[in-house]
Amino acid sequence: MSPVKILILGGDGYLGWPTAMHFSSLGHHVVVADNFLRRGIAIELGAGSLTPIRSLQERIGAWHDVSDREIRAHIGDLTDPGFVDHIVAETSPDAIVHYGEQPSAPYSMIDRKHAIQTQRNNVEGTLNVMFAMRDLAPEAHLVKLGTMGEYGTPNIDIEEGFIEIDHNGRTDTLPFPKLPGSMYHLSKVHDSHNIHFGCRIWGLRATDLNQGVVYGIRTPETDLDERLCTRFDYDEVLGTALNRFCVQAVVGYPLTVYGKGGQTRGFLNIIDTIQCVRLAVENPPDRGEYRVFNQFTEQWSVRDLAERVQRVGADMGINVAVEKVADPRIEAEEHYYNAAHTKLLELGLRPHLLTDDIVAHLIETIQRYKDRILLAPIAPKTRWDPR
Amino acid sequence: MSPVKILILGGDGYLGWPTAMHFSSLGHHVVVADNFLRRGIAIELGAGSLTPIRSLQERIGAWHDVSDREIRAHIGDLTDPGFVDHIVAETSPDAIVHYGEQPSAPYSMIDRKHAIQTQRNNVEGTLNVMFAMRDLAPEAHLVKLGTMGEYGTPNIDIEEGFIEIDHNGRTDTLPFPKLPGSMYHLSKVHDSHNIHFGCRIWGLRATDLNQGVVYGIRTPETDLDERLCTRFDYDEVLGTALNRFCVQAVVGYPLTVYGKGGQTRGFLNIIDTIQCVRLAVENPPDRGEYRVFNQFTEQWSVRDLAERVQRVGADMGINVAVEKVADPRIEAEEHYYNAAHTKLLELGLRPHLLTDDIVAHLIETIQRYKDRILLAPIAPKTRWDPR
């Protein structure tokens, strides 16, 4: 693909920063924007990244040292319409990769303030991006990070965004019904409806990536220099399941399986996240098209995931306990789950599945930073119903 | 039904005020809350109510004069969590009837500021109500005004909130897919998802009334004294189709049919709105239940509605022209439309259908206020795509 201009919103985050480096390494013109919301949340929670992440400015300098490539940065907030217009007008992007949202379900469930802050931040930020695209970059392709959690756990197969429904002798293909499980997941459902509308009414083009749970810590670009590492959260609010389990294994903290552990979700390696986003950017939809890809490579139950970590730990000489704790969330702990995920494979995705080697490799990487692990933020505290 | 405590949010509005009087007339303890958003919008637009509405304080005084009953009022904004907690704690309501939202699709489409303001006002206000219910009135019944416009115009029959889907040999009953047609309609879709979540997670009980287009101006209570009249909007932003057409007929302005006029929607008389809300309040759902009623009594295309007004006008000696104007909205102008609406009938709704007499009666009432009609705000100006 010949070089294009890519604006990455949330380009300082866990996924945003490695994505920025990856597109830059391919020769694309990369501009990132961030308001450091996720760094701020870590401070608020007394948590922190396992990895010693550098400031965005240092990262960009280190990337230039290593690659001789430039990444430009804008610091600002997507809920500020003037900021969004400014970065879109100045970048004139071919693609906008939008990670710039509050990413944590537990964070959104702390209390009313956090719930409203999450919905406002995510929904209004995305609306600002849509209006900026309409008025300043109507040909640009919005690649928006959504979540598989928008669907919840229905008792039928989950399709990719839309489902053909036969009803009383008539047929239509309609948005797949949504059963989101937190105020955060709701914000993503709201985004999806808003973006779909923007495509229908204003002819925007968008890919909504309903992503599964991401794990992993290393990409080809982060491996080039320690200053390029991405953040890695393992606390109960910002950490995702496998990342948390591997950290817990390393420090001898029992793996915290919530309830029965039958909660099944789609998972993918951080390397595949970046691969999927690249495939979306390289294969844009038509004007007016709202396209949904389910972005994960395999399904795991939380229980099976914990058992896998336990077994790999044993092979490595680590004694890992699994502890079933009361589920702080309100969710089905055993349920049917079967979600389609063929569209990205059709575009050429080559999955990196969760082998024992991958788990061992993740544990080894975490061991390198063992001294940095904080124990206090690991235990589940945020309850879906605090009463 | 023995007297209960009813908190009416948006109790100064077109529907809120007649609803407040109606429940008060039945002996219920009625408290209204309003921030006068709709009066403010009319000022912003240079529009106004056809009817000479009084201040909320005067209305309440007049209602006391006429009925010897008290309605209490709180002035404040639902996006202020402290205000919402205060009124819920002080009222300790059995039912909360929630009309308190920005109600206009064209208003939400004026520009980015109005779009974001609409979604923020509606979504955050409802979230504040949900949290106040969870913490302060967990047994209360939320009766929320939604809109039939949440569904859009799918090519299959529209069900009441949920649809049973057979897919790949499995079955589930899931939220009916939504295709909202404006930033306002999107805000109602967001509300529906948020409220459904509140019922599932916190055991709230809620009835979401997906209402059709309301017409009419008089109820038994507004007829008691002119000071009790409700507002009646006929401008392109706040006026609904039949109300607008009848005003246009009275002033000799051609009826503005948008595009082909095949746009078909559910309609109901304001008397039936109040009847439906009363039926919902009198028949609360269980704790944890999220219930959706499609609240309208008959379907009309815009074209048929205009022809009806033209014909009744002719019978009354009024020469009414119909003018097809370019549709300022982006919507299907001819489409399949068949929406279920049996649940309120099962609860006892007795519809007041749109007879020639009703149209004539509406036109006569408008003629009484003919001198107050402003022509400038009638012509459609707000375009869904302003580029």
DSSP string computed for B239-297: --HHHHHHHHHHHTPPEEEETTS--EEEEEEHHHHHHHHHHHHHSPPPTT-EEEEEE-S
Would you say residue A208 lies in a domain? yes
Mean pLDDT taken over chain A = 97
Residues A217, A51 contacting (CB under 8 angstroms): yes
Cross-chain residue pair B135–A330, CB shorter than 8 Å: no
Supply B70's token pair.
Answer: 């008290």
Distance of CA B319 to the CA centre of its chain: 30
- Which pLDDT score is estimated for A149? 98
Quick one: CA dihedral B355, B357, B359, B361, positive or negative? negative
Q: pLDDT tens digits, residue range A156-203?
A: 999 999 999 999 999 999 999 999 999 999 999 999 999 999 999 999
User: Which has the closest alpha carbon to B300: B263, B269, B334?
Assistant: B263
Cross-chain residue pair B194–A200, CB shorter than 8 Å: no
Would you say residue B244 lies in a domain? yes
User: Which has the closest alpha carbon to A59: A101, A17, A25, A28?
Assistant: A17
Q: What is the CATH number of the domain that holds B316?
A: 3.40.50.720
DSSP conformation letters of A103-127: --HHHHTS-HHHHHHHHHHHHHHHH
As for how many domains chain B has, the answer is 1
The Cα of A171 is separated from the nearest Cα of chain B by a number of Å equal to: 6
**Mean pLDDT of all residues in A234-238:** 94
- Which pLDDT score is estimated for A311? 97
Mean pLDDT taken over chain B = 97
What is the rounded distance in angstroms from the CA atom of residue A379 to the CA atom of residue B104?
A: 46
| Nearest residue in chain B measured CA to CA from A340 | B168
Cross-chain residue pair B155–A175, CB shorter than 8 Å: no
Q: pLDDT tens digits, residue range B20-70?
A: 999 999 999 999 999 999 999 999 999 999 999 999 999 999 999 999 999
Q: Which of A136, A172, A176, A199 is the best residue to mutate to test the B interface, defined by the most B CB atoms within 10 Å of its own CB?
A: A172
Of B168, B181, B197, the CB nearest to A157: B168
Residues B315, B321 contacting (CB under 8 angstroms): no
Residues of chain B with pLDDT > 70, as a percent, come to 100
What is the rounded distance in angstroms from the CA atom of residue B153 to the CA atom of residue A172?
A: 11
Q: Report the run of H or E that residue A33 belongs to, with start and end.
A: strand A29-34
Q: A301 vs A296, A313, A338, B115, B188, CA distance in Å? A: 14, 18, 12, 40, 34
| Nearest residue in chain B measured CA to CA from A191 | B190
3 state DSSP class of B298: strand
Of A115, A171, A174, the CB nearest to B127: A115
Cross-chain residue pair B124–A116, CB shorter than 8 Å: yes
Catalytic residues of A: 147, 184, 188
Cross-chain residue pair B120–A120, CB shorter than 8 Å: yes
B256 in active site: no
Residues A6, A93 contacting (CB under 8 angstroms): yes
What is the rounded distance in angstroms from the CA atom of residue A351 to the CA atom of residue A274?
A: 11
Q: pLDDT tens digits, residue range B174-217?
A: 999 999 999 999 999 999 999 999 999 999 999 999 999 999 99
Of A127, A171, A197, the CB nearest to B156: A171
A contacts of B177 (beta carbons < 8 Å): 163, 165, 174-177
Q: Is the pLDDT of residue A387 over 90?
A: no
Cβ-based neighbour number of residue B156 at 10 Å: 19
- Which pLDDT score is estimated for B17? 98
3 state DSSP class of A216: coil
- Boundaries of domain holding B261: 5-378
Cross-chain residue pair A172–B156, CB shorter than 8 Å: yes
A contacts of B128 (beta carbons < 8 Å): 112, 116
Distance of CA A199 to the CA centre of its chain: 23
Q: pLDDT tier at A15 (50, 70, 90 boundaries)?
A: very high
Cross-chain residue pair B170–A163, CB shorter than 8 Å: no
Would you say residue A35 lies in a domain? yes
Supply B277's token pair.
Answer: 């809300």
Q: How many helices (H) and strands (E) does chain A have?
A: 12, 14
Q: Catalytic residue among B79, B107, B118, B188, which?
A: B188
Q: Catalytic residue among B184, B215, B234, B290, which?
A: B184
What is the rounded distance in angstroms from the CA atom of residue A95 to the CA atom of residue A335?
A: 37
Cross-chain residue pair B176–A180, CB shorter than 8 Å: no
B contacts of A175 (beta carbons < 8 Å): 177-179
B contacts of A154 (beta carbons < 8 Å): 172, 174
Q: B317 vs B256, B313, B321, B358, B367, CA distance in Å? A: 20, 6, 13, 16, 13
Flag whether the ipTM exceeds 0.90: yes
What are the beta bridge partners of residue B30?
A: B6, B71
Residue B378 — φ and ψ, nearest 5°? -80, -40
Would you say residue B239 lies in a domain? yes
What is the rounded distance in angstroms from the CA atom of residue B137 to the CA atom of residue B88?
A: 7
A contacts of B202 (beta carbons < 8 Å): 385, 387
Supply A262's token pair.
Answer: 């039958």
Residues A355, A300 contacting (CB under 8 angstroms): no
Of A81, A176, A387, the CB nearest to B112: A81
Q: pLDDT tier at B328 (50, 70, 90 boundaries)?
A: very high
Would you say residue A383 lies in a domain? no
Would you say residue A176 lies in a domain? yes
The Cα of A49 is separated from the nearest Cα of chain B by a number of Å equal to: 31
Strands A298-301 and A264-269, bridge-based pairing: antiparallel
B contacts of A108 (beta carbons < 8 Å): none
Amino acid at B69: R
Would you say residue B238 lies in a domain? yes
Cross-chain residue pair B387–A135, CB shorter than 8 Å: yes
DSSP conformation letters of A128-187: HHHHHHHHH-TT-EEEEEEEGGGT---SS-B-SSEEEEEETTEEEEEEPP----SHHHHH
User: Which has the closest alpha carbon to B90: B19, B10, B31, B16?
Assistant: B31
- Which pLDDT score is estimated for B387? 85
- Which pLDDT score is estimated for A1? 84
A contacts of B123 (beta carbons < 8 Å): 119, 123, 190
- Which pLDDT score is estimated for A299? 97
Q: pLDDT tens digits, residue range B240-251?
A: 989 999 999 999
Q: pLDDT tens digits, residue range B114-171?
A: 999 999 999 999 999 999 999 999 999 999 999 999 999 999 999 999 999 999 999 9
Would you say residue B386 lies in a domain? no
Supply B222's token pair.
Answer: 């507004």
- Which pLDDT score is estimated for A65? 98
